[in-house]
Amino acid sequence: MNIAVLQFPGSNCDQDAFQLFASGLGLPTRFVWHKETGLGEADLVVVPGGFAYGDYLRCGAIARFSPVMGAVREYAEKGGLVLGICNGFQILCEAGMLPGALIRNSSLEYRCLTCDLVVEDAGAAFNPRTLGKRIRLPIGHGEGNYRIDEAGKARLEANHQILLRYLDNPNGSLDGIAGVRNEAGNVFGMMPHPDRAFERFHPSTDGLAVARAVLSVRFPEVIRKTA
Amino acid sequence: MKRASLAPNPDPVLNQPITPELVKKHGLLPDEYEQIRRHLGGDPTLTELGIFSVMWSEHCSYKNTRPLLKGFPTEKRGATEHFGRVLVKAGEENAGIIDVGDGWAIAFKIESHNHPSAIEPFEGAATGVGGIIRDIFTMGARPVLLTNSLRFGELETPATRRLLRGVVAGIAHYGNCVGVPTVAGDVYFDRSYEGNPLVNALCLGTLRHEQIRRGKATGLGNPVYYVGAATGRDGLGGASFASKELSAESASDRPAVQKGDPFMEKLLIEACLEMMAVPGLVVGIQDMGAAGLTCSTCETASRGGAGIEIELDRVPQREPGMNSYEIMLSESQERMLVIVEKGREREIEEVFAKWDLHASHVGSVTDTGRMVVRQHGVVVADIPASALTDNAPVYQREARRPAYLDATSGWTPEGDALPDLDLGGARAALARLLAHPTIAAKRWITRQYDHMVQHGTVVVPGSDAGVVRLRLGSSEKFIAISNDCNGRYCYLNPRRGAQIAMVECLRNLVCAGATPLAMTDNLNFGNPYKPETFYQLKECVAGLAEACRFFDVPVVGGNVSLYNESPEGAIDPTPTVSIVGFIESEAHVTRQFAREAGASVILLGGAPTELGGSQFLGLIHGRKTGDAPEVDFAAEQRLQGLLLAQIKAGRVRSAHDLSEGGLLVCASEMLFGPEQLGASLDLCALPAPRLDALLFGESQGRVMVSVAPADAALVVRAAAEAGVPADAVGSVTAGDALTVKTARGTLEWSVSGLRAGWESSIEGAMKRPGIG
């Protein structure tokens, strides 16, 4: 197993994502600098949270042009697993690798708090049976208000692409959508932070279950080995 | 008298003769100007005048406070070879550093950005955060947490709401983007801060002992680099601006407020830490904060006992046509000065190229002891570096005890014919106190700060102290941090008020399960040229110094902010204290919230008896008077020793100290945690000459703990042995009722009702418009 965590200028949850996999799950994990054009051998690519390029334009709008994103797209097209967390989710949406867009929170303010999330049935790996009906994960973002057009939403629902919904919507997201996957089921994105929910003293350790669920899409044995 | 050594500057602006008006405009006294002439051997150039004006401002030189600050202890008596040694002392560098064992250390410091925030709250607060972060990583430390200490006028006024909104958004904008969690803070709302809010920001970083870097220029011929953002015209003369009173014209000083770029700062942190990790590359490093390029060059030269020469044509500039005066005085943000080993230029340039940042070779270290600045081939400044730093003027200001103290210190409720509370009054008073913004929930503020990034936050904002897990190599350590200062106490009794700030901060740390280690302070006062203000300053510093020595808490750094006055007058003296404590084991981490029904509630320290300076007196009776509550260091030490021992023995389920609002506010806050709980208290056995003083007085040295019923007798016995008054006053209950039995009858509230008022107060107020 080999986890690759991307680093953009302005990534600031890169260490958090790294530790979720390295110390939380005990898996070999490494960083990949945004100027790289290849990913090397990777079983999962994590696009971490932060403020890539400062997010002064639209979140993720510049990061998607980083050299490494070409490699990520190619990797995903071949079926490779990708997980975008927070800013990483925004980048994947901007890159067109996930449907929808994230706009400013309806409060127009940043929100840092812990949310109760309803787990949706999003396939064999990610569903209430593998994760439980509810999980608790922290959020920390100013632009997490998920939007998609009617036709897009209908497709999300028909294909079981919605991963998580907020129980108490903190940002105005359409139908409380907190995370989605692509149609093929190998690219995942979510605003909540599994990388802030894996240590004893965190608000929960549900981040470990989320990380395992994503990995188990390709590596079903992961759930057994690290549980 | 023109100096022979300096050729005339072809630029007529820079070449203008220095008139007394020009000297005055630069905030320099005629006598100070004569000193400048003696240092230079003739008249300064305009650029030199500007350089002296910022370096001799209070903000950079501490000219009015340096003698006072010498009273602070800078070493820890109880330090061992392996823990607690002060490795870099206060005043030596950008931040102090203290040994935390296993070869690791922490650097931390607090700094104010009051004046910029009064004029431009968003950018003022944002750049305050940026500046303090640079002070930490310039020492070689990785920033791991932020806190802030804020003071505003009453939230009733639209101007205050505008300031609060802007300051909080500014702190959030910067701290969140740069990726350092804001884990604690304190906020007070009081009329004395109307028009002159206080924004004090603290940063703490971690580093290995061998990673400590200093702001020293040494080694003849070593190259001097300018790294980070380009220089613009923003923040011109910010240090001088911070050293005068705010007035109606201050808005026109807006160009003196800088604009921050947290993304640039994030890159600068990573690039600088990467550069500093290269063995032997960096000789010295200093951030360009107040007084920018000026301060960083002359201070590094002065500390290194060397000289420095720089060429301004090589300084990256944001706009064309900037003259030497502007470049030297600019306070553009996110810039650093780095001195590297000669011959290793390529190594520093490669690191900064990786991060797409400027690294410009602007000059070199000399052995002349002088700071020499050239632009377009002309020397624009040539000054002995020590004249700007060590030889800056120092003043002993006149202190006079303010007349108001005679009236306030002799105040008694009886003399004032203040009726005691009846039950109805007590019932209403608690709800009103809990809804006052100073006491009310700060969630509207803290939810805007990322307090979880870096995944080490153990206790989030809202308890007595923030607690963070530090990952130090392969080991982990837990630290607690708290900021405290009740300006009202300092107004009523400066010496004691400052001591209360300190003992309360210590108590907050102990309540979290921590052993206090070291302190940083931010002295916020009015104009020191007013003898009454200087008296407050002098007394507060003396009080703090006494407390620091008694509790063996060294001051490892800090900041002085004077001239905090608006047309309405000076702020209440506010010597903000921030102390870092260590928690031996994660199991000792304690929060203020009751955890389960059935737990026994014990009041440690005895019944409160004083009303002076209380929130109750201010809010319910409209009085800011009385003496500040008494402070008894020995009793405080016994209390804190006992509490820590009981926490370590695993007997304390929750601990919360009595502070603003007194006993009932403390009891309520104990119930405002994640669990829905009530409490049933019986205070009949406590001596209570006055009900208001018992319920809402702010006597110091009191803590309310909840313990398992089986442990209650053990805790009370241990307290008796330690000489600490302990009263079992009731228990935590499963219902929604807070019931308090007093000698005058029984009081009852719905906890959810109290909580609703406490939670919605600030949020509700902020839904109303602010102006600006």
CB of A51 less than 8 A from some CB of B:
yes
For the record, the structure tokens of B593 come out as: 């919230």
Cα(B309)–Cα(B373) distance, integer angstroms: 6
Exposure string over B34-71, b if 16+ CB within 10 A, otherwise e? ebbeebbeebbbbbbbbbbbbbbbbbbbbbbbbebbee
Residue A165 has a CB neighbour count (10 Å cut-off) of 17
Subunit contact A51:B177, Cβ cutoff 8 A: yes
Cα(B570)–Cα(B245) distance, integer angstroms: 9
B374: part of which helix (H) or strand (E)? Answer: strand B370-375
Q: Global pTM?
A: 0.95
Chain A: nearest CA to B699, how far in angstroms?
34
Domain boundaries along the sequence of chain B: 1-66+214-392, 591-772
Residue A204 has a CB neighbour count (10 Å cut-off) of 17
Rama region for B614: left / alpha / beta (φ>0; ψ in -120 to 50; rest): beta
B454 neighbourhood in chain A, CB within 8 Å: 15-16
Residue ranges in B110-186 assigned as alpha helix (H)? 114-119, 121-137, 158-178
Question: What domains can be seen in chain A, in order of their start residue?
Answer: 3-226 (3.40.50.880)
- What pLDDT is recorded for position B241? 58
On whether the CB atoms of residues B294 and B332 are closer than 8 A, the answer is: no
On whether the CB atoms of residues B233 and B255 are closer than 8 A, the answer is: yes
Cα(B206)–Cα(B615) distance, integer angstroms: 38
Residue B478 has a CB neighbour count (10 Å cut-off) of 24
Query: Across-strand partners of A147?
Result: A101
Residue showing tokens 């005066």: B325
Chain B: nearest CA to A21, how far in angstroms?
13
Task: Pick from B450, B469, B479 the residue to mutate for testing the A interface (most A CBs within 10 Å).
Answer: B450
Structure letter (DSSP) for residue B231: B
- Closest residue in A to B183 (Cα–Cα): A112
Cα(B542)–Cα(B490) distance, integer angstroms: 12
Cα(B445)–Cα(B716) distance, integer angstroms: 38
- Of B633, B690, B622, give the one whose Cα is nearest residue B662: B690
Rama region for B367: left / alpha / beta (φ>0; ψ in -120 to 50; rest): alpha
On whether the CB atoms of residues B114 and B524 are closer than 8 A, the answer is: yes
Cα(A92)–Cα(A99) distance, integer angstroms: 9
For the record, the structure tokens of A9 come out as: 């200028």
- What pLDDT is recorded for position B248? 58
Cα(A154)–Cα(A160) distance, integer angstroms: 10
B183 half-sphere exposure, CB direction, 13 A CA radius? 29
Distant-in-sequence, close-in-space partners of B8: CB < 8 Å, separation ≥ 6: B2, B15
The three-class DSSP label of residue B238 is: helix
B109: part of which helix (H) or strand (E)? Answer: strand B104-112
Query: Across-strand partners of A44?
Result: A3, A81
Distant-in-sequence, close-in-space partners of B474: CB < 8 Å, separation ≥ 6: none
Structure letter (DSSP) for residue B454: T
Subunit contact B178:A12, Cβ cutoff 8 A: yes
Quote the Cα angle for B142-B128-A62, to 5°. Answer: 70
- In this predicted structure, the answer to whether residue A226 has a pLDDT above a threshold of 60 is no
- B8-19 pLDDT, tens digit per residue, is 888 888 888 899
Amino acid at residue number B615: Q
- A100-122 pLDDT, tens digit per residue, is 999 999 999 999 999 999 999 99
- What pLDDT is recorded for position B160? 96
Cα(B296)–Cα(B299) distance, integer angstroms: 5
Least confident of A50-59, A164-173, B639-648: A50-59
For the record, the structure tokens of A113 come out as: 């708090």
Active site residues of B: 59, 113
Residue showing tokens 């705010």: B246
On whether the CB atoms of residues A93 and A102 are closer than 8 A, the answer is: yes
- Of B164, B46, B38, B143, give the one whose Cα is nearest residue B95: B143
Chain B: nearest CA to A226, how far in angstroms?
21
Chain A: nearest CA to B434, how far in angstroms?
23
- In this predicted structure, the answer to whether residue A145 has a pLDDT above a threshold of 50 is yes
- The band of A225, judged by pLDDT with boundaries at 50, 70 and 90, is low
Among the partner residues B356, B446, B453, nearest to A13 by beta-carbon distance: B453
In this structure, chain A runs to a length of: 227
B355 neighbourhood in chain A, CB within 8 Å: 9
On whether the CB atoms of residues B744 and B689 are closer than 8 A, the answer is: no
A189: part of which helix (H) or strand (E)? Answer: strand A187-190
B453 neighbourhood in chain A, CB within 8 Å: 12-13, 16, 49, 140, 196
- Of B294, B331, B398, give the one whose Cα is nearest residue B51: B294
Residue showing tokens 């406070």: B65
In this structure, chain B runs to a length of: 772
B260 neighbourhood in chain A, CB within 8 Å: none
- What pLDDT is recorded for position B474? 87
- Closest residue in A to B447 (Cα–Cα): A112
B641 half-sphere exposure, CB direction, 13 A CA radius? 14
Subunit contact A112:B447, Cβ cutoff 8 A: yes
For the record, the structure tokens of B311 come out as: 């060429």
- In this predicted structure, the answer to whether residue A96 has a pLDDT above a threshold of 90 is yes
Cα(B481)–Cα(B505) distance, integer angstroms: 9
Among the partner residues B263, B448, B458, nearest to A56 by beta-carbon distance: B263
CATH class in words for B1-66+214-392: alpha beta
- In this predicted structure, the answer to whether residue A227 has a pLDDT above a threshold of 50 is no
Rounded average pLDDT per 10-residue block, chain B, 772 residues: 76 89 91 95 93 90 90 94 93 92 96 94 96 96 98 95 97 97 97 96 97 93 96 73 60 69 96 96 92 91 94 95 92 94 97 95 96 95 93 92 96 95 97 98 97 97 94 92 97 98 98 97 96 97 98 96 90 98 96 97 97 97 97 98 98 98 98 96 95 98 98 98 98 97 97 98 89 54
- Of B12, B151, B138, B23, give the one whose Cα is nearest residue B557: B138
- Closest residue in B to A107 (Cα–Cα): B448
What's the CATH superfamily of B591-772? PurM-like C-terminal domain (3.90.650.10)
On whether the CB atoms of residues A42 and A75 are closer than 8 A, the answer is: yes
Q: How far is CA B337 from the centre of its chain?
A: 25
Give, in order, the Cα–Cα distances in Å from B145 to each of B134, B136, B142, B449, B669.
13, 11, 9, 12, 25
Subunit contact A12:B453, Cβ cutoff 8 A: yes
The three-class DSSP label of residue A184 is: coil
CB pairs under 8 A between A and B: 80
For the record, the structure tokens of B237 come out as: 């003369």
